[in-house]
Amino acid sequence: MLGNITTLFDTAMEHLISAADANRNFSVVLREVREGASYVVTNYGKPVARIVPAGRNAAITSTARELLLRRLATQDVSDVGRWSRDELYEDEA
């Protein structure tokens, strides 16, 4: 692991690394990302970018979709009656 600061986001460990350190050690960062590590790149102490394994976003999206559909399946359907598109954007002024 590069640097000395780590932080916990949800269940995945992400390492903080300065832009300068990421630049100097880019091949090491890429190797660790390939092995599953994630980095938050900072510039003057503020997060500016995230380097994560390429397939991770697809897995997160798939999991989020599955959780949403499960939750929606447990909710009752609300009958709000018929409405027109114009009514949705009607001003209340």
Is the per-residue pLDDT at 1 higher than 50? no
**pLDDT, tens digit, for every residue of 10-59?**
335 789 999 999 999 999 999 999 998 999 999 999 999 999 888 777 77
Classified by CATH at the fold level, domain 6-74 comes out as YefM-like fold (3.40.1620)
Is the per-residue pLDDT at 5 higher than 50? no
Q: In one letter, which amino acid is 9?
A: F
Count Cβ atoms below 10 Å from residue 38 Cβ, excluding itself. 16
Q: Which pLDDT score is estimated for 9?
A: 40
Q: In one letter, which amino acid is 55?
A: G
**Residue of 28, 24, 23, 6 whose CA lies nearest to 15:** 6
Q: Which pLDDT score is estimated for 92?
A: 63
Greatest extent of the chain over all pairs of C-alpha atoms, in Å: 61
pTM: 0.51
Burial (CB count <10 Å: 0-12, 13-18, 19+), residue 29: buried
